[in-house]
Amino acid sequence: MKTPPREGLLRRLIVRPVLQQLTQGVTSPKLAAAIAWGVTLGLFPILGSNTLLTLLVGVPLRLNQPVLQAFKTLAYPLQWSLLLGFYRAGEWLFDRPHVSIHVPTLIEHFFEEPGSFFREYGLTALGGIAVWALVAPLLLGLLYVTALPLVTHLDRLRRARSPQPAA
């Protein structure tokens, strides 16, 4: 007896959820928009704020929430890798002093003395948000124009493989 081949991580985390949404009648442009917004909002440089941010943006824009949340989550490792860059770019852009950033220490400081934490790191965070806000529209557009042909291609493949109803 043959065992079915194992499904790859890329297929399981990205392709399958997108195909499931396509079978439920979501259009390719709407899915591409949800993907682009999900990744872009997933890179927002304040840890722990992305889920609320995707809801605040996604609901009024009527973006597909499962895809939006999935791609926001997939962007999480990239968010961590870009976080310090956003903060440093913000310090440079606004000519702010360089602050030491060590995440475990930051978390501890936040919970022990929230007021002191915001006084010390608030302007650095705002600078990071400003840099993200400058980059986000470009990233959003690039991700959309990249995702749309890919999602459209997946939809064509899905339609070609699905049985056609009898006339």
For residue 37, give the 3-state DSSP assignment: helix
Tell me if 74 sits within 8 A of 14, measured CB to CB. Answer: yes
Q: Has residue 148 got a pLDDT over 70?
A: yes
pLDDT in tens, 56-78: 999 999 999 889 999 999 999 99
pLDDT in tens, 10-45: 666 677 666 666 666 678 999 999 999 999 999 999
pLDDT in tens, 8-17: 766 666 776 6
Write the DSSP assignment of 98-154 as a string of letters: P----HHHHHHHHHH-HHHHHHHHHHHHHHHHHHHHHHHHHHHHHHHHHHHHHHHHH
The most confident of 89-93, 94-98, 161-165, by mean pLDDT: 89-93
Domains of the chain, by residue range, sit at 9-160
